[in-house]
Every structure is written in C-alpha cells, then in structure tokens.
Structure 1
Amino acid sequence: MNILIRLAVIVFGVTLLSACSSDADNAMAPSPLQSYTPSVQAVTAWKTGVGNGNGGYYFRMRPAVRHGVLFVASRNGDVSAVNAKTGRTLWNENIGANITSGVGVGGGNVYVGTDNARIVALSAQDGHLVWHAPVTSEVWAAPEYARGIVLAHTITGNLSAFSASTGHLIWRYDEAVPSMTLHAASQPEVAGNTVVAGFSDGHLVVLNLQTGNMLWQQQVALPRGNNVIDRMVDITVDPVVVNGVAYVATYQGRVAAYDLDKGQLIWSHKISSYAGITADRHQVYVTDADGRVWCFDEATGAVAWRQTALKGRQLTGPALIGQSVAVADRYGFVHFLSRSSGKLQGRAPISADAIAQPVADNSQLFVLGTNGTVWSFVLRPFKA
C-alpha cells in the first residue's frame, strides 16, 4: 500500500515508521504541477512560527479557530494562541509533554492529547492549566467539545467523555482495535445530542452525548484480503454531519452517507481515503488515498466532478473557502479548485509540507507546516 510510506502503522502497539521495501519501490510518483488558467489569487496575509510542528512524526496536528483566535499545538508541547487577523501571538504555553493531537476548543478552554496518555485543558484566554485527566493511551485525534463535554479518542479505540469544566470522567466507550492500524484517528463529530465516531475497525458508531449509550453502528467497510495490510479499513477521516446525514470515509473501503437518525445507508462509493472529507449543504468533497479530489451530490451520491491533476502529491483533506476547495500537499503547495467544476483555480507555495487539513474561517485559510510555520491566506480574484 503506497500510503504506508507516508503513514506510520501500528502493529501490536509498536510503531513502524516505514513500509516494506517493495512498497517503497512502487510508490506513486507525484504528478508534476500542471499549467492552468488562474481565476483566484491566494495572498499571504501573514505567516508566523509556533513551536516545532509535528517534530518529524506523522501526527495530524490540525489547528482550530474560535472567535478570531487561532489555536495551534506542536509536538514539543507548545500550545499557542494567535490573532487570526494579524498573526500576532497572544500567548504560548508548554504543557511539559509531547502532544499527539490537533487542537479542540470550546467552553472557554483549549484541549490537546499527549503521548503520556492524558488530555490537557488550558484556558483559551491566557493559556493557564485548567485541568488534566488520564486516558487509556495516546490521544491521536483532536478532542471535540460540545455542550459542556469534551470527547477524546485514543490509540486503543477508546472514546472518553469528560466534563469540560472539571475534567471529571462522565462515560467511556470501547471499540476493538485490529492488530494493525494507521497512525491516525478520527475526531468525533457532535450533532445535537448525538456523537458520531469512526474507529480503526471500520465501524461508524453513533452514541448519546450525555450517557455514551449506543444508538446505532454500521460497518462502513469490511476487511478483505489475505494479509493484515490489505485488511486495514481504518476510519481516520473525521465524520461530517450536514442536513441530518453523516458522511464518512475509510481507508481501503468506501465513502458513505448514512441517515443520522436511523443509521440507514443512503449511498456509497468504493473509494479509499485517509486524509479528509468536508461538505456544504449541497455537495460532499473527499480527498482519496491516491491524491484525487472528488465531489459528490450530497443527496444522491452522484459524482459531480473529479480532479486527478494532483495524484501522488500526498494531499490533505479539503477545506472550503469562498467558492473554492483548498487542499495542501506534502511538496510545499496549497491548491485551490472550483467548487462547481473542480478545475484548478489557483496555487500558493509554502516552505514546508502541510501537516493536516487546512482550516477555513470566513475569508481566511490557515495552513500549518511540519516546521511549525502557520500561513494565513486570503483569496482574491486573479489579476494578470
């Protein structure tokens, strides 16, 4: 599997940082940058350095933005708050442990997970420690806040719910973990009083937010093949809920849409994805494992368009900004596609590989690089 060159895997609790030599020999070469007629221009509003990025490890440390402040975590334990408009650092704190997750924010706090099996809550106002609590193992996905509760998803398939104000454990859900998994996990999505969570065994599970009781579950993809690598069907893509429909994607499996109330399958496509999915009220956008970007009709699943010009460039998941779909790659570029047609609209260089799915907030797009640099882009009509 080519993706194993980029994604570490976990086998019986041991991290393997490279794939077998045959995979390396057969790695998909990145598509060369193609010429196109630009229609948008990505202007760098600001860039700033915060911490050491992911420290050379494969951790998808996606920033979070709330009320005009961008919160960024780094592998070395730094958590920073940055003015989203100006790039000025408002505060920076080191939590004294290696961070393994992206950032969650809500309830006046900022939340991160660590490699010593803890979830840490800092004040969003000034960064002081509010509480920390033990979990069963490393937290790989960004904690999710909703209605006074913080959810943490760990390496061992555990989903824990904590009081956002005190760190008190409210409930815990456990899912079986396969013998081999990708070195990534999905952030739960909360819709109303419902938690939508994807796990490394290919299960999509829907729980009651307050109690943790299961409402329904579906096997999004079935493991197939004669070896453990071929049978990997991890859900590392964060589920998305729009208009009462849960959208999810699995590695070596499929992209699927489920009725949130009933758990019934609405549509699906056989597509492998580990990077990301997003949606608006009409369309669903997915980056597949080979670097193609897909757009589906949200109601029927019909393919609206597919962009193949970026194959092999190790794309992040998509983010929506204006009338564009933004994806970053691991070769130092951010690409902008038309929402309606998928055509290339613009391109912006960055001086590092992108860590995770870009973050969009109103008219700004934030991209975090592996070296700890954050870029803020604003899209404008292209002028020759």
Structure 2
Amino acid sequence: MDKKFTLPFALTIVAAALVGCSSNKVKEENTKPNALPKLVQSKQLVPVFSQSVTASNKNDDLNLQIAADQGVLFIADPKGIVEAYKGKQRLWSTKVSKDEGLSAGVEAADGVVIVGNQKGQLIALDQTSGQVKWTAQLSGSIITASHIQAGRVITVSNDGNVYAHDENSGQQLWTYRLPNVPLSLRGQAAPVQLDPNNVLIATANSYVYGIDVISGVPRLQRRVAVAEGRSDVQRLNSVSTPVMMGQFMVTTSYQGQVTVTDLQQQQVVWSDDVSSRQRPEVTQSKVFVSTDDGKVIAYDLMSGQKLWENDQLLRRNLSNPVLLGSDLVVGDFDGVLSLIDPNTGNLIGRSNTKGQVSSLRVIDNQLYVSTQKGALSVWQNR
C-alpha cells in the first residue's frame, strides 16, 4: 500500500513557520486570539437539542457531525456508539465498533446511517431499527464523512482511495485511486454531489475530480489552487470540500486561493489568495470564507469583488461559516457561535457551546453543531 505522511493542522503551521522564518522570535501579541468584542445589542440562538458524547483526542481531532433525515437526528460517539433521536426521545442506541471506536460520520439518507473508523471499517445501519446492515473493509482509515447518492455510498479513505458501495447490500462496486501526494493535512475533503450522475472529490494536490457515481469513471479534472514554496510543507495545498452553485464550483484551499470555476465554460471565473481549510458558504450572489488566520470575508460570486472583511475574530481558529436564515454563523476554538450580518460583516450576536467547534451544518433552517469536547447541539433563530 502506498504511504504518505499526514500532519495535524497545528503541527503543519509550526513546520511552515520554521521553514519560512529566520531566528527572530514571533511577537507574543501576534499569536494570541482576539478577545471577543462587546456588542451593544446581542442576538442569540435558541437551543433545540443537545447531547454529550466522548471528547475527541486533542492530538487526533475528529470531525464527527450530526446528521438528520426524516425528522430524526443521528449522532455518533467516538467510543463506537451510534444513536437516533426524535426530538429529545432516544429511539435506539447501537454499539458498532468495540475496539476501534468511530472517526467518521454521521451521514444519513435513503434509510441508512453511515459511519467509519480508523481501521478502515465502513459501517451501515438501518435508520429505523439501528441494526447493522453491513460492514466493508477499506484500505485506509476513514476520517471524513461518506456521501450517499444514486444508491451508492461514496467514501474517501485517508490513503487516497475512493470507494463506492451499494447502499443496501454493501457490495463494493468500484474504486478510484487519487494521485499520491507526499504530504497532506489530516483527513480528506468530504465527497459532495456535482450533479445527479457525478460526485466531486477534492484532493491535497490542488485538484478537484468529478467521478461518475455509477461506473467510477472520472469525468472531470480541474486545478483550483496554486501552491508556492521550495519545501513540501510550503507547497502543501489541500483543497476543502467544494460547493456547487448552479454551474459554478467554489473552492478554498490551505496556503492557496478561494476560487470560483465555471464548469460549463471550463474556466476559472476569479480567484483570490486566501488560505482556508474550511468549506465556504455560497449563495446565488455571495461567497463567504473563514480564513486560517481568523478573518471572515464576503465576495461577490460573479466578479470576485470583496464586499467586506471582518477581522474581529483573528486567531480564534474559526469553523466553516454557514447561513442560518438571515444570519451568517461561525464557531471558534472556545465554543462561541458568532452571528454576523451577511450584508455588512458586522458582529450582531453570539451563543455559547462547549469546546472547539469542528463542524457546522444547516438542515431545514436549523443549525447543527459538533465540538471536539463532544458537545452536539441543534439551534435555531429566536
């Protein structure tokens, strides 16, 4: 099996700093997170659901997310338990991984719930009963949620292989090998739908691939970022999970760019030099990006014009931004959910959970929050 080295983000930052800097010491004031500014009027979110699971290991951050389907919430505990809730009522609880725990998921659709672990075991459960339907063994660890489309479960293992399994039987239908890279951030971007027939896979080599979900045949290959530097660390250029808006594909990348690509015309519409490990939020007119240094930036989708930039949350290790109703929401290392006016970039409110926010999702106008301390919660606008 091909091997490659993966680095946790914090270690990568240190390595990059050592490569690029001289013996001068970094000023302490430039490394401290910004204090949260006082708000004259503070909007708050309303908690709808909360549940605690086992905290993630600080040296091996996980990105377990809450999933929802048909009004039921599905959550995973790193210790190997998957649970389903209807409101506050627990419908079932299943221990699926006794020794290895869980490191990826949850994804739920078409009556199945999908999770995975670091030993490469992909596990499907029945949404109604919680019984394990099937398991499959992959060639590498699974630390990114799968994607369900057209009766296929699409999964990317951390050694760069893409798998498709039948969602009902677990039969392996095809595999696709992504190009090998010597160094990458911990984890691959999650697969997402390009159109009814194809899925998008972003990689650590600055490219995004489109693969036919039925046959596994590659249909698209686009470079969306450019890396600079002499060392592997300086050229590290992992692309985050893409977002589609009509014919436009929006991507961000670590040590790279935010890029809008017109897939119909097969050309880049615009790009801007911004480093971000987080998936952008996209509307029909705007692109919102949280940068690795803690800025939140809004761009015009078509022109790339920067509409506003908020630097009040610098060095707070921001999550991906999401739109919840009329508010833009971003989480940080301290469990703070900051609300931002998407038209002006002004901070307009905040709410608090526990632990560094690792994942934000909006489903049916509700905010799904996962943190590294194991705080899983659902929120809505007041």
TM (norm. structure 1) is 0.89
> Do 2:15 and 2:233's aligned partners in 1 also have CA atoms closer than 8 Å?
no
How far off is 1:280 after superposition? 2.0
Q: Of 182, 206, 213, which residue of structure 2 is paired with 1:209?
A: 213
Q: Counterpart in 1 of 2:361?
A: 359
SS of the residue corresponding to residue 40 of structure 1 reads coil
**Alpha-carbon distance in 1 for matches of 2:41, 2:157:** 42
**Alpha-carbon distance in 2 for matches of 1:280, 1:70:** 26
> Do 1:107 and 1:165's aligned partners in 2 also have CA atoms closer than 8 Å?
no
Q: 1:254 to 1:330 in 2, by over 3 A?
A: same
Structure 1: which 5+ runs fail to align? 1-10
Q: Counterpart in 1 of 2:90?
A: 89
Q: 1:108 to 1:53 in 2, by over 3 A?
A: farther
Greater shift, 56-65 or 327-336, is seen at: 56-65
1:145 corresponds to 2:142: no
SS of the residue corresponding to residue 357 of structure 2 reads coil
Q: Counterpart in 2 of 1:313?
A: 316
> Do 1:252 and 1:273's aligned partners in 2 also have CA atoms closer than 8 Å?
yes
**Alpha-carbon distance in 1 for matches of 2:381, 2:6:** 43
> Do 2:9 and 2:186's aligned partners in 1 also have CA atoms closer than 8 Å?
no
> Do 2:281 and 2:289's aligned partners in 1 also have CA atoms closer than 8 Å?
yes
Percentage identity across aligned positions? 23
1:178 corresponds to 2:181: yes
Matched letter for residue 270 of structure 1 = D
1:169 corresponds to 2:172: yes
Moved over 4 A (4+): 13-18, 20-27
**Alpha-carbon distance in 1 for matches of 2:323, 2:9:** 31
TM (norm. structure 2) is 0.89
Q: Counterpart in 2 of 1:373?
A: 375
Q: Counterpart in 2 of 1:223?
A: 227
> Do 1:278 and 1:286's aligned partners in 2 also have CA atoms closer than 8 Å?
yes
Q: Of 201, 206, 209, which residue of structure 2 is paired with 1:197?
A: 201
Q: Counterpart in 2 of 1:32?
A: 35
CA RMSD, Structure 1 to Structure 2 (Å):
2.1
1:338 corresponds to 2:338: no
Matched letter for residue 194 of structure 1 = N
Q: 1:17 to 1:326 in 2, by over 3 A?
A: closer
Summarize deviations over 1:53-84 as a string: whole Å, max 9, x none. Answer: 4344311112222222222222211222223x
Matched letter for residue 380 of structure 2 = V
**Alpha-carbon distance in 1 for matches of 2:347, 2:34:** 14
Structure 2: which 5+ runs fail to align? 19-24
- Counterparts of 1:1-384 in structure 2 under 5 Å? 12-13=4-5, 19=11, 20=14, 23=17, 26=26, 28-38=31-41, 40-49=43-52, 51-56=53-58, 57-83=60-86, 86-96=87-97, 97-190=100-193, 191-235=195-239, 237-356=240-359, 358-380=360-382
How far off is 1:116 after superposition? 0.9
Matched letter for residue 119 of structure 2 = N
Summarize deviations over 1:215-247 as a string: whole Å, max 9, x none. Answer: 221222233212221110012x21111112111
SS of the residue corresponding to residue 122 of structure 1 reads strand
**Alpha-carbon distance in 1 for matches of 2:89, 2:324:** 22
Q: 1:66 to 1:304 in 2, by over 3 A?
A: farther
Matched letter for residue 38 of structure 2 = S
How far off is 1:14 after superposition? 6.4
SS of the residue corresponding to residue 105 of structure 2 reads coil
How far off is 1:16 after superposition? 6.1
How far off is 1:375 after superposition? 2.2
How far off is 1:17 after superposition? 8.3
Summarize deviations over 1:68-111 as a string: whole Å, max 9, x none. Answer: 2222222211222223xx33322222211322213211121011
**Alpha-carbon distance in 2 for matches of 1:202, 1:335:** 30
